[in-house]
Amino acid sequence: MIIKKPVDKSTPLLGVAISNNELMDCFIDFYRTSSNGGLELYFKLKLIGVQILEYSVIHPNSLDHNDQQPQETLSLKYKSITWNHVIAGTSGYSIWEDLKINSTM
């Protein structure tokens, strides 16, 4: 899974997690504007046994794009995932195992 997010107060903590090769659990909530104009939670992801595989920062050119914020991209590996559509009341999950392939060469 690849996540793109603004550089924020979690950035240093993610850096430590990468450095220590930490396994984490992640809970991601998705919000949208509802028909009455407020925010509504409509979708949730739960990732278990997450490891950050790749990390990069994109800093826009301050001369050309001074209205844009720096962003970071994280590539994640996980052991299991649960999808939950809060509004529709549907959900599903998947467990990913590392498959070891034995070579006879």
Helix (H) or strand (E) holding 100, with range, is none
* Residues 28-66: tens digit of each pLDDT: 999 999 999 999 999 999 999 999 999 999 887 767 767
Q: What are phi and psi of 92, to 5 degrees?
A: -160, 165
Structural domains for the chain: 2-64+74-95 (2.30.110.20)
Of the candidates 30, 20, 11, 27, the residue with the CA atom closest to the CA atom of residue 71: 11
pLDDT for the residue numbered 103:
44
Q: Mean pLDDT throughout 62-91?
A: 90
Q: Mean pLDDT throughout 11-33?
A: 95
pLDDT for 101 beyond 90: no
